[in-house]
Chains A and B, each alone.
Chain A
Amino acid sequence: MTTARLTRRTALAAAATLAMPRIGGAQPAMIKLGLIHPVTGALAGAGGRCRMGGQLAIEDINAAGGIKSMGGAKLEALLGDAQGRPEIATQLVDQMAEAGAAGFTGCFASALGLAATQAAAKYNIPFSIDSGIADAITTRGLKNTFRFFPNNTTATNDAMAALDALNKKAGSPAKTAVIVHEDSEFGTNSVKLQAAMLPKIGIEVKAMLPHATPTRDFTNIVLRIKAEKPDIVLISNYENEYVLLARTLVQQRVDLVSTFSISGGGFNLKFAKEAPTVAENMIDFNHWHNPKDPRALAFRKRVETATGFYSWEHPFGYFAVKLLADAWERAGSADKEKSIAALNASTMSDHFMPYGATAFTNGQNSGAHPVALQIQKGDMTVIWPDAFADAQAVFPRPKA
């Protein structure tokens, strides 16, 4: 008898255990999310920061109970190193799609983003671009591709408006400019637009000086700048070249009203801390958080505590993931069609970027805008637009 009862009890317990997961979906599914960035090679630094931002978002979403409309489904990161090569980015998309990725974020560089979004389009898997400014990423009709952040045209238009506003406010001390740019897609793209727009805001372009990436000596370029005697120097290039050029401008004592860059590769807090005299009062038009939002300051502190260095790539990686998570939350599903529909209808306002609520037109968030930044006393300040500014612009800068 005892044996029989025990057996029955055991059987019941076993049945209950087996039934458990089915009752009320007590075991939430995992949602796999592919993060594709260059974390080795020339773009490793920036790619790594985007990746870290994405990982922080996943950490936060999971800690807050996952995707609630899907029974608390947790996000799982699939990490891929694209090494700066489009072939590898494509290969990673294939691998992750087969591993069951429900979405992608990436890829820091536009060339990687172009290849990866198109590969993901074959599977119709949503792709949230974190960085990669080329307009073409969202203008070529891929239904799966979304960019929360500004594209190149917006960045350049806004930058010219900012430069114009800063200049007029100071009594138009800047009348002539020289443009220095790196000669690949990123630099050329911005510069063509700039050269066409500068005359419209009353600034004459005296010369355009392209240089290769990498360039390890800017003496010749700076000597040419000196010969042209411009009021401002506009810079479009990557990190090392930006810092080198800035340093050479100071070494050669080039007298300027200001420097102005659009997405200046080396314009960051590391530069501000490592070369404070060179960096002081340089102006860059770039991505940044809203410094008036306490969540942004907390996020910056969190990243700085973890790595000692914070840049705009961190929130980019972070909100690229948040955008997808928000879509899954509203769709109540990670189904591809439903997620893409939810992304198209996205009005995400729970963020600390200076963008307002999201509104997508052909995959591009039309509310996304960069801001004008200036390094003042070794820290990053927003000087334009006024709504987000936390400091007054130093323009023109004091004579050396």
Chain B
Amino acid sequence: MKWLALAILAAIPFALPSQSLVNIAMLTAFSAFLGQCWNIAGGFGGLTSFGHAVFFGTGAYTGAILQTRYGLNPWLGLPAGFLLGAAVGAGIGAASFRAGLRGSYFALVTLAFAEVFRVLSNSTDFTRGGLGINIPLNLSWQNFQFADRRATYAVVLALLVLATAAATWLTRSRFGARLAALRENEDAASALGVDLVQTKTLALALSGGLTAMAGVVYAQTYLYIDPTIAFGSERSVEMLLVAMIGGAGTVWGPLLGAVVLHLVADISRNFITTPGFAPMLYGVVLLLIIALLPQGLAGLWATLRERIRRA
């Protein structure tokens, strides 16, 4: 029942006559996808990353460089981005988890990695430094550039389904159980024989690979990336917020988070014209959710049920 309702909701944008409404749906699904990618490592694995832009940027640059430098078909960017993103995730994971980093130390390391990648992409000719990369405009589906925003939405939706399937798998699989055990108590889980480094590294690699695919889609949609767009901390914060607001470590949290955050942002942008007021309102809503719903929107139901029972 729940699945059917969701499928219908997700299909509505295809019937919308307005490209701008489709675009809002696309951006919402895109945020949800990014949030879900973060959630796989940050929510289910408790690997609170402040630098997921490192994967996003890796994907964006992979897609852009493969086609502008090597003339490869942009669709190949998706698998290539996934592989490179996963490799970067495995690299960062292996290095940090072997060193025993966790919690805020891990968060700081990811932040640093994203910054290092930003500086690197800003200073090497291979990535065209601060100039960024312009992907030539050539609208055709073979070229992974769509005139109709519904096509972009379809791609993003497919990726969102993929990431959500991965999240669902984590709630049901042995691997997911090991990851959750590590999140709840590392020492106890290790004592029971869970391989800490391997499990966490795999989770970060999966999350990184998926996030990189989002970067590929972004580059194909806006056709211009530079180091700040690709590796800027704003992107990391957006992913983290969507998951946290919705409910980290739950399958539906990032979806809820993305819908609510986009509703607030778009409504306030369209109905309030005083400059600066829209971002301010957005901030207030964020503060309220964080203060009143520590478990995110997905935890709201549980919180309410608890209150009713106590009353």
Instruction: List residues of chain A with CB under 8 Å of any chain B CB.
Output: 39-41, 44, 48, 79, 81, 83, 86-88, 90-91, 94-95, 97-98, 111, 114-115, 118, 121-122, 136, 140-142, 183-189, 192, 210
Contacts and interface: CB of A to CB of B under 8 A. Distances in A.
B105 interface: no
B19 A98 contact: yes
A121 B24 contact: no
B23 A91 contact: yes
A187 B27 CA distance: 30
30 contacts: A39-B275, A83-B279, A87-B27, A88-B269, A90-B23, A91-B23, A91-B24, A94-B19, A94-B23, A94-B149, A97-B20, A98-B19, A111-B132, A111-B224, A111-B226, A115-B222, A115-B224, A136-B134, A141-B137, A142-B137, A183-B122, A183-B123, A183-B129, A184-B130, A184-B226, A185-B131, A185-B132, A189-B130, A192-B131, A210-B123
A40 B283 CA distance: 14
Contacts of B132: 111, 185
B104 interface: no
Given A97-B19, A115-B222, A40 B122 contact: no
A184 B227 contact: yes
A115 B23 CA distance: 14
Contacts of B227: 184
A81 B275 contact: yes
Interface string B78-103: 00000000000000000000000000
B223 interface: yes
A39 B277 CA distance: 11
B275 A40 contact: yes
B229 interface: yes
Nearest to B223: A118
A185 to B, nearest CB: 5
Given A142-B137, A189-B130, A40 B224 contact: no
B206 interface: no
Nearest to A91: B23
Given A94-B149, A183-B123, A40 B278 contact: yes
Contact of B279 (A40, A48, A140): A40
B294 interface: no
Given A184-B130, A188-B131, 13 more contacts: A48-B275, A86-B222, A91-B20, A91-B27, A98-B20, A111-B229, A140-B134, A140-B136, A184-B226, A184-B227, A184-B228, A185-B131, A210-B130
A-B pairs, 5 with minimum CB distance = A188-B130, A94-B20, A95-B20, A114-B224, A39-B275
A121 B132 CA distance: 21
Interface in B221-247: 222-224, 226-229
Nearest to A48: B275
Contacts of B19: 94, 97-98
A171 B130 CA distance: 36
B143 interface: no
A125 to B, nearest CB: 13
Contact-residue bracket for chain B: 20 to 34
A141 B87 CA distance: 37
Contacts of B68: none
Contact of B226 (A39, A81, A185): A185
A141 B223 CA distance: 14
A189 B134 CA distance: 13
Interface string B133-150: 010110100000001010
Contacts of B198: none
Interface string B268-299: 01100101101100000000000000000000
B190 interface: no
A90 B149 CA distance: 11
B18 interface: yes
Considering residues B27, B137, B224, which has the most beta carbons from chain A within 10 angstroms of its beta carbon?
B224
A94 B149 CA distance: 10
B127 to A, nearest CB: 11
A398 B23 CA distance: 58
A187 B227 CA distance: 13
A340 to B, nearest CB: 16
Contacts of B228: 184
Nearest to B149: A94
Contacts of A90: 23, 222
Contacts of B147: 122
A77 to B, nearest CB: 12
Nearest to B146: A122
B230 to A, nearest CB: 12
A95 B273 CA distance: 15
Contact of A187 (B130, B136, B222): B130
A314 B222 CA distance: 28
A271 B279 CA distance: 29
Nearest to A88: B269
Given A183-B123, A183-B130, A185-B226, A81 B269 contact: yes
A88 B20 CA distance: 11
